[in-house]
């Protein structure tokens, strides 16, 4: 058993090697020691997923546990949403991700003593997530209370190549003489979980969400089929096993409604190893019958066994090698950041790789946070990463949105609008937000989807997508804006009464972000109709309609404060009272838990980048001087009570030349989950923040922009780092950009030459040799200051 | 049994005398015929109350019934408020008025056949509410299914002079020979009621809200004591009886937890009459024990019996004679309107006369609508009526607000503000609104209370109130505004993010109504501190603080649209999209049931007078030209989906010279409940609309204003009427104003001479002789038009 090289340790107490925590390594995340009270965190960071199936990083033996969780993307239970005062258009049904049948559980009895890390003595214990193999490895050297010692090594994978399949290799080696080992390998439905919800109806819905429909067990194989009570979805889980050991193995298998168990008992001598390989197959459907689902998971198992454990490992490695070839980010000068950025990319891949016709939830498949819902974060933060690294995954995620267009159009109709109003939060495409300022007014979601659609098309030239899905997404979202806005004699095309990205304002007029994103949406829709006239005809788009879009786009009102020379985030924002930061104690953050909405909404306090996000995504609509003034103005008023902010602040800080500040924000974005900065990582990882780490590197220090579908760079290295390199693909070509002191180098990794620009200078990246260009010095301005106590953080608050 | 003179009948089908409905009479409301399906309406209009105790106008025999209801002001049950997404500062507990022990029930058996209007044959049936005697009389000539005929006359009163007491005189006379009569007189707790709530928790709380604590019965007397399950309030009801009849009476009385019943059986000959007088005593307390409450209601009964039925009648008449002497309104030229306005005044008196330390709920004590909550309507619409007619009742209602100051100050603190934030809706003073844009942002409630406080003081000169309650109310509400607003370099003292009166906008900046009412609040508070320096010292008001109030008042920002030359209701309102009235079908009103909040809020559609209410209450802050333009602008955009609108529109229409329109709005306000224009009178009467009828007459056609505490008139008679006369009191003097074609006459009814003004000309109303002055012609402008289909209504939609 290799301990590997002990590098520096994350955390406030560096060098305190007795204290459990993450070790720093470039290609791995490793936790040495046990720390039962930290299990909920590591279960999230060690989660394995492929976008279809996700498993939290629980210990094999099921207990101790923070929060058990196995998730199938799109599989949810429904529950009534209660309102003390209901209103028109309030959604009546909520959706909540369900912890499905747990196939991870493998228990070990050593001479009748259950392996339980809370008892006996752990001579060694570590868990390692490897970003290149895609394996979660656990190594334990344990002495039972009665003095018998075993070494246990388990490796777990959720296959990227076989989306319905997971596999576990479980190895036990007695250390001090022959012992009797009993292994129990389970499929366990309706695991007891502690719900954090305060709503008794949701808690009831989730208490025992699965109703057994079928179970069978035979030989080493078992299947359980369940359905949900309310949402009417059906799922199946199956397991099969291969057992390698000397003589004397006795096995038994049985199944009941909520439990299938293989029991294997054998005497194993010291130096010998009991090896159990467990193959898991999962599937769910809203339509297929129990026998059909059973057949489906048994087929998945058969495929996995045919591939074999070694084959699954090899496929996983090959898949990841290809991913890192197109997506790797190298950070020289900050090892912890290097590790965090690769972890981020690994989890983004896990969230999106094989989602296919389903959403990418805000927490991926790493935990039950946000009820398993997907938000606009996916399009705005996650999809840019996928678009430039695994574009097929971006296409699939947009395909999910396209598949929910009927629901979005119906929602728009209920709200009295035309086109498509995509939900604030959802699993199946229907709005689930019980808070109407978000659930009915945050229309920017639709522009964000349009933006991701246009970006994907520009970055891939995927004409098939453009024709079959993209144009329709652009047209229906454009129609929403055309019916939401109005031409006013005072000041042009206004969009009133909407909620922008910042959750500390709501239902405002002319939110600059929303207006500019809508403007882009309208012009992109007109362009798509021009590219695809037959699609436009099918959607009954007339020339008058596209003309009206272009008129609205041209006349879009963008408010500006002439006195302060900045853009108000929305109409009137800069006339609002300033937040009293001086009298806001640190423990009053996040503010929304300690101040009423009305007071947050009416003051100049910003939860997350909003105008600053417009400076990024619609940077083409601002002068550089605007950006510098606007960024400084909002920097002083943005508290980052959201994980959706630091990355965007990093990007614009870098553009404005505040490189140290940009670096600090990059670090915060990258460390959000590793250091549990928002104290909620137990419920899952923040996909948007993980994606934000990539954004902060690529769009921040790389200065990458894609306005109008052109790929441009403006790289600059922050003083704290020696070198930053990143890879990406664009229209099928893989590129690498290396940023070093004073210069940047562009290299074609594979594919056709591409024309890009470097700080405004066009250049061709071709096959011959890398192109190196000098980097102009950063413009100098005073570095703006965040609100008191709200500077970027690398670590959680000291404990 | 007198049928009275059959006058014209209310309703769309005049002359259709077979159809049950209200008869028109100047001093009575009478319903001839039964119409079981209309009982819920007449139970509300025939409700009797004195501000402390209220009884819906149900039939004596309990069934058929629309919605039974007996209410004790301030007696409520508590229930959890559910939230799918909770937020900081959301109230956790709701309060709901409870249907307490029903003492109205008197059943009659005629030869074993129960008197039930649904069976047998009614030869005559009518109910009459008399505004001068205060009695609800019911006269029935009924033939049982077995052919026995009786005349029943019952008279019911809720005493204005003995607030805990109600009494019923029940008379039965056989028509055709001796019959056996059995009378059952009940106290009935936990009557089954159909709840209209969709919230199962509220329904559960109200299903059987009373827990029996004590019961006793002896002789003709019984007592039941109950408490609520959650709110911990205790109530007692007691009954006693006097029975007048010939020989052979047998009585029996018994009691159990939820029922006490006196049974009286006797043979009565034709021409003889069985007379049962039932005295009822009620009481409740949050503190007193069951024995103490029992003693309290028994004492009330003893007092009532000592007074006797005849004595109660005489006291009631004297009380009402005095009321009409100070409050009567005469309308010549529209008999239905005359009746409606007197009914309105009668119900306002019933709601407020003896509320004493309790609120005046939005529905008075006539039904369970709005959960029995009090709103700002009370201060803005009801208290002006009481201030100028029964000022002690206005003082008591403000005394309730004063008693809840600790809750209002705590609420302000929770919301991060200083001073007092009074609740949007409440029974006990704690906020009960589950909708935060109302429950936390409708701060104008506090200014409305301050306005009512200042008005009461100006109209009475009640220095004791000013010192003990008024100044504190003004100071704490002024402190709220000082902490809510801020001085902005752009445009002065702004009050952002508040909800004004119009419920089709919310959380806006610089709502003109709110800003102007706050401005007045600030100056009134400063003046009160100057009058009462010792109170100011006790409240720690410094000179700097009053100076800051006056500065804020002076610099209060009032937005104005220079292009359209009107005041926007709030910042940006006139730039919003117009509502598409042309495509809004009639059945889509009220709009809030058919359109989402976000869309109502973002468009130029107004539920109820808001800017127009400012034109009334802060008319001193507008030029006449402003008023004319503003009124026309908002007239075209106000849909009156609220009963709080027509009266204010009448007042400003009259001021602007649109006398026909003003008349139409007066009629709508006065008929709102009689004709059930909002289709919800089953849940109780709209006190604000009833009060609005008075406002429309006195402030509308009388042109009465009280800016700065001065009493001014600008009377004008609408063409439809021959003469309008109204009475009021001011600083102890009773005045009468008579408006006739071309002239107005001012008369001192009693008290000292008073200086007022007539169309700007000062005049003294003295004891010598009435003063008559010519009325200048109304200014002429085009009459503005309400939105299509939203013209004032006299009747409910045709059925």
pLDDT digits (tens, 9 = 90+) for B431-459: 999 999 988 999 999 999 999 999 999 99
Q: What's the confidence (pLDDT) of residue A196? A: 62
Measure A652 CA to nearest chain B CA, in Å: 28
Spatial contact of A107 and A61, defined as CB atoms under 8 Å apart: yes
State how far the alpha carbon of A99 is from the alpha carbons of A199, A209, A258, B54, B358, in Å: 18, 8, 13, 54, 52
- The whole-angstrom separation of Cα B67 and Cα A588 is 48
Q: Is residue A54 within 8 angstroms of chain B, CB to CB? A: no
Contact B435 A85 (CB under 8 A): yes
What's the CA angle centered on A608, arms A604 and A611, to 5 degrees? 70
Measure A425 CA to nearest chain B CA, in Å: 13
Beta-carbon contacts of residue B393 (< 8 Å; ≥ 6 apart): B51, B349, B352, B353, B354, B355, B386
Contact A507 B509 (CB under 8 A): no
Whether the pLDDT of residue B9 is over 80: the answer is no
Contact B498 A441 (CB under 8 A): no
Listed by number, the residues of chain A in 223-242 with a beta carbon closer than 8 Å to a beta carbon of chain B are: none
Contact A81 B84 (CB under 8 A): yes
Q: Is residue B92 within 8 angstroms of chain A, CB to CB? A: no
Q: Is residue A190 classed as helix, strand or coil in its secondary structure? A: coil
Contact B498 A436 (CB under 8 A): no
Residue B34: band (very low, low, confident or very high) from pLDDT cuts 50, 70, 90: confident
- The whole-angstrom separation of Cα B54 and Cα B52 is 7
Structure tokens at A651: 């990007």
Residues of B whose CB is below 8 A from A571:
572
Per-residue pLDDT reduced to its tens digit, B521-540: 999 999 999 999 999 999 99
> Which residue of A602, A604, A605, A641 is the best one to mutate when testing the B interface, meaning the one whose CB has the most B CBs within 10 A?
A602
Query: What's the start-to-end Cα distance of chain A, in Å?
Result: 33
B646-656 vs B687-695: helix crossing angle, rounded to 10: 10
Measure A722 CA to nearest chain B CA, in Å: 46
Residue B711's nearest CA partner among B688, B735, B692 is: B735
- The whole-angstrom separation of Cα B759 and Cα B762 is 8
Contact B496 A576 (CB under 8 A): yes
Contact B572 A577 (CB under 8 A): no
Q: Is residue B29 within 8 angstroms of chain A, CB to CB? A: no
Contact B507 A601 (CB under 8 A): yes
Length of chain A: 799
Measure B683 CA to nearest chain A CA, in Å: 17
Measure A490 CA to nearest chain B CA, in Å: 7
Q: Is residue B580 within 8 angstroms of chain A, CB to CB? A: no
Q: What's the confidence (pLDDT) of residue A40? A: 87
Contact B496 A575 (CB under 8 A): yes
Residues of A whose CB is below 8 A from B603:
496-497
Per-residue pLDDT reduced to its tens digit, B567-616: 999 999 999 999 999 999 999 999 999 999 999 999 999 999 999 999 99
Closest residue to A88, CB basis, from B86, B88, B593: B593
Listed by number, the residues of chain A in 401-440 with a beta carbon closer than 8 Å to a beta carbon of chain B are: 414-417, 433-437, 440
Closest residue to A575, CB basis, from B440, B491, B601: B491
Give the A:B interface size as CB pairs under 8 Å.
162
Measure B89 CA to nearest chain A CA, in Å: 6
Measure A639 CA to nearest chain B CA, in Å: 18
- The whole-angstrom separation of Cα A694 and Cα A692 is 5
- The whole-angstrom separation of Cα B621 and Cα B627 is 10
Q: What's the confidence (pLDDT) of residue B734? A: 98
Structure tokens at A65: 């546990």
Closest residue to A596, CB basis, from B416, B488, B563: B416
Contact A597 B494 (CB under 8 A): no
Q: What's the confidence (pLDDT) of residue A565? A: 98
> Which residue of B497, B589, B591 is the best one to mutate when testing the A interface, meaning the one whose CB has the most A CBs within 10 A?
B497
Contact A416 B89 (CB under 8 A): no
A770 CB neighbour count, 10 Å cutoff: 14
Contact B86 A198 (CB under 8 A): yes
Residues of B whose CB is below 8 A from A506:
507
Higher pLDDT, residue B16 or B25: B25
Measure A770 CA to nearest chain B CA, in Å: 54
Higher pLDDT, residue B21 or B615: B615
Residue A790's nearest CA partner among A534, A591, A546, A497 is: A591
Which sign does the torsion angle of CA B688, B690, B696, B699 carry? negative
When pLDDT is averaged across residues B774-797 and rounded to a whole number, the result is: 90
Chain B residue with Cα closest to A601 = B497
A512-531 vs A543-554: helix crossing angle, rounded to 10: 150
Which sign does the torsion angle of CA B407, B410, B415, B419 carry? positive
- The whole-angstrom separation of Cα B455 and Cα B397 is 13
- The whole-angstrom separation of Cα B170 and Cα B245 is 12
Q: Is residue B498 within 8 angstroms of chain A, CB to CB? A: yes
Measure B488 CA to nearest chain A CA, in Å: 6
Whether the pLDDT of residue B11 is over 80: the answer is no
- The whole-angstrom separation of Cα A677 and Cα B640 is 50
Q: What's the confidence (pLDDT) of residue A202? A: 65
The low-confidence residues of chain A, meaning pLDDT below 70, are 1-20, 195-205, 796-799
Whether the pLDDT of residue B505 is over 60: the answer is yes
Q: What's the confidence (pLDDT) of residue B797? A: 57
Length of chain B: 799
Per-residue pLDDT reduced to its tens digit, B274-331: 999 999 999 999 999 999 999 999 999 999 999 999 999 999 999 999 999 999 999 9
Closest residue to B494, CB basis, from A494, A509, A575: A575
Q: What's the confidence (pLDDT) of residue A797? A: 58
Q: What's the confidence (pLDDT) of residue A777? A: 95
Per-residue pLDDT reduced to its tens digit, B457-470: 999 999 999 999 99
Spatial contact of A195 and A202, defined as CB atoms under 8 Å apart: yes
Higher pLDDT, residue B781 or A701: A701
My answer on whether omega of the bond before B64 falls inside 30° of 0, hence cis, is: yes
When pLDDT is averaged across residues B644-650 and rounded to a whole number, the result is: 97
For chain B, what is the mean pLDDT? 94
Spatial contact of B148 and B179, defined as CB atoms under 8 Å apart: yes
When pLDDT is averaged across residues B694-720 and rounded to a whole number, the result is: 97
Spatial contact of B398 and B466, defined as CB atoms under 8 Å apart: no
Contact B572 A491 (CB under 8 A): no
Higher pLDDT, residue B18 or A88: A88
Residue B357: band (very low, low, confident or very high) from pLDDT cuts 50, 70, 90: confident
Chain B residue with Cα closest to A202 = B84
Per-residue pLDDT reduced to its tens digit, B394-440: 999 999 999 999 999 999 999 999 999 999 999 999 999 999 998 89
Helix (H) or strand (E) holding A335: helix A335-352
Distance of CA A23 to the CA centre of its chain: 23
Whether the pLDDT of residue B26 is over 70: the answer is yes
Do strands B492-494 and B486-488 pair parallel, antiparallel, or not at all (unpaired)? antiparallel
Residues of B whose CB is below 8 A from A594:
88
Residue A180's nearest CA partner among A86, A132, A97, A246 is: A246
Residue A362's nearest CA partner among A674, A613, A644 is: A644
Contact B436 A486 (CB under 8 A): no
| Residue of B298, B503, B545, B655 marked active site | B503
Contact B88 A601 (CB under 8 A): no
- The whole-angstrom separation of Cα B332 and Cα B268 is 47
Do strands B221-228 and B210-218 pair parallel, antiparallel, or not at all (unpaired)? antiparallel
Residues of A whose CB is below 8 A from B494:
575-577
Q: What's the confidence (pLDDT) of residue A36? A: 86
Spatial contact of A458 and A706, defined as CB atoms under 8 Å apart: yes
ipTM of the complex: 0.92
* Residue B326 φ/ψ, nearest 5 degrees: -100, -20
Whether the pLDDT of residue B8 is over 50: the answer is no
Contact A509 B576 (CB under 8 A): yes
Per-residue pLDDT reduced to its tens digit, B338-348: 999 999 999 99
Q: What's the confidence (pLDDT) of residue B743? A: 98
Based on the residue annotation, tell me whether B431 is a catalytic residue of this protein.
no
- Long-range contacts formed by B621-624: CB under 8 A, 24+ apart: B621/B516, B621/B519, B621/B558, B622/B567, B624/B779
| Residue of A213, A356, A379, A503 marked active site | A503
Whether the pLDDT of residue B195 is over 80: the answer is no
- The whole-angstrom separation of Cα A330 and Cα A726 is 6
Tell me the β-bridge partners of A250: A265
Whether the pLDDT of residue B18 is over 50: the answer is no
Q: What's the confidence (pLDDT) of residue B13? A: 32
Spatial contact of B45 and B129, defined as CB atoms under 8 Å apart: yes
Contact A85 B433 (CB under 8 A): yes
Q: Is residue A95 classed as helix, strand or coil in its secondary structure? A: strand
Whether the pLDDT of residue B371 is over 50: the answer is yes
Structure tokens at A98: 């369900």
Residue B4: band (very low, low, confident or very high) from pLDDT cuts 50, 70, 90: very low
Closest residue to A488, CB basis, from B494, B498, B575: B575
Residues of A whose CB is below 8 A from B497:
576, 598-599, 601-603
Q: Is residue A560 within 8 angstroms of chain B, CB to CB? A: no
Chain A residue with Cα closest to B82 = A84
What's the CA angle centered on A256, arms A250 and A257, to 5 degrees? 150
């Amino acid at each position: 058993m290799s301990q590997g090289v002990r590098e520096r340790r994350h955390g406030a107490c560096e060098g305190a090697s007795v204290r459990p925590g993450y070790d720093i390594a470039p290609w791995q995340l490793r936790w040495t020691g046990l720390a039962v009270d930290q299990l909920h965190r590591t279960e999230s960071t060690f989660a394995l997923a492929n976008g279809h199936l996700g498993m939290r990083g629980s210990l094999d033996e099921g207990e101790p546990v923070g929060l058990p969780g196995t998730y199938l993307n799109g599989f949810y239970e429904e529950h009534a949403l209660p309102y003390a005062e209901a209103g028109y258009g309030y959604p009546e049904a909520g959706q909540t991700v369900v912890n499905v049948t747990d196939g991870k559980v493998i228990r070990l009895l050593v001479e009748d003593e259950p392996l339980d890390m809370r008892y006996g003595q752990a001579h060694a214990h570590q868990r390692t997530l490897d970003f290149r193999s895609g394996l979660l490895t656990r190594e334990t050297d344990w002495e039972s209370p009665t003095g018998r010692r075993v070494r246990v090594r388990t490796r777990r994978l959720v296959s990227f190549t076989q989306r319905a399949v997971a596999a576990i290799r479980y190895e036990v080696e007695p250390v001090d003489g022959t012992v009797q080992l009993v292994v129990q390998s389970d499929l366990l439905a309706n695991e007891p979980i502690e719900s954090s919800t305060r709503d008794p109806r949701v808690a009831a819905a989730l208490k025992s969400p699965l109703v057994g429909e079928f179970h069978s067990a035979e030989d080493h194989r078992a299947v359980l089929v369940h359905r949900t009570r309310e949402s009417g979805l059906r799922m199946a889980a199956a397991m099969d096993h291969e057992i390698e050991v000397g003589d004397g193995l006795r096995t038994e298998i049985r199944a009941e409604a909520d439990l299938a168990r293989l029991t294997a008992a054998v005497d194993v001598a010291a130096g010998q190893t009991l090896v159990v390989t467990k193959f898991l197959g999962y599937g769910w459907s809203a339509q297929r019958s129990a026998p059909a689902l059973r057949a489906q998971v048994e087929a998945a198992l058969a495929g996995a066994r045919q591939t074999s454990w070694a084959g699954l490992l090899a496929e996983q490695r090959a898949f990841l090698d290809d991913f890192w070839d197109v997506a790797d980010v190298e950070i020289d000068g900050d090892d912890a950041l290097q590790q965090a950025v690769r972890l981020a990319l690994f989890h983004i891949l896990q969230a999106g790789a094989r989602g296919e016709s389903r959403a990418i939830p805000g927490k991926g498949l790493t935990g039950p946070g946000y009820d398993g819902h997907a938000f606009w974060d996916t399009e705005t933060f996650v999809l840019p990463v996928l678009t430039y690294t695994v574009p097929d995954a971006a296409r699939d995620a947009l395909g999910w949105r396209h598949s929910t267009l009927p629901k979005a159009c119906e929602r728009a109709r209920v709200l009295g609008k035309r086109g498509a109003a995509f939900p604030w939060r959802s699993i199946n495409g229907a709005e689930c937000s019980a808070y109407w300022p978000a659930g009915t007014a945050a229309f920017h979601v639709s522009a964000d989807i349009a933006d991701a659609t246009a970006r994907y098309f520009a970055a891939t030239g995927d004409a098939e997508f453009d024709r079959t899905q993209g144009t329709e997404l652009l047209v229906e979202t454009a129609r929403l804006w055309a019916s939401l806005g109005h031409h006013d004699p005072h000041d042009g095309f206004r969009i009133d009464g909407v909620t922008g990205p910042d959750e500390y304002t709501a239902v405002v007029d002319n939110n600059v972000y929303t207006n500019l994103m809508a403007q882009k949406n309208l012009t992109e829709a007109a362009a798509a109709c021009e590219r695809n006239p037959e699609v436009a005809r099918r959607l009954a788009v007339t020339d008058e309609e596209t003309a009206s879009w272009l008129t609205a786009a041209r006349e879009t009102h963008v408010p500006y404060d002439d006195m302060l020379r900045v853009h108000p985030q929305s109409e009137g924002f800069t006339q609002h009272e300033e937040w009293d930061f001086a009298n806001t104690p640190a423990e009053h953050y996040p503010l929304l838990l300690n101040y009423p909405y009305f007071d947050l909404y009416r003051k100049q306090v910003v939860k997350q980048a909003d105008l600053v996000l417009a400076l990024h995504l619609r940077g083409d609509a601002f002068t550089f001087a605007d950006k510098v003034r606007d960024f400084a103005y909002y920097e002083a008023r943005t508290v980052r009570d959201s994980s959706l902010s630091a990355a965007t602040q990093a990007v614009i800080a870098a553009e404005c030349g505040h490189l140290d500040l940009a670096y600090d924000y990059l670090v915060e974005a990258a460390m959000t989950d590793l250091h549990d900065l928002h104290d909620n990582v137990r419920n899952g990882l923040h996909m948007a923040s993980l994606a934000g780490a990539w954004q902060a590197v690529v769009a921040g220090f790389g200065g990458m922009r894609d306005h109008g579908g052109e790929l441009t760079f403006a790289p600059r290295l922050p003083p704290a780092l020696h070198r930053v390199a990143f890879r990406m693909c664009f229209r099928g070509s893989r590129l690498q950009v290396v940023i070093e002191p004073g210069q940047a180098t562009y290299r074609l990794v594979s594919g056709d030459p591409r024309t890009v620009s470097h700080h405004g200078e066009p250049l061709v990246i071709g096959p011959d040799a890398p192109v190196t260009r000098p980097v102009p010095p950063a413009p100098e301005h005073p570095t703006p200051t965040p609100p008191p106590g709200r500077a970027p953080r690398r670590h959680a608050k000291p404990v």
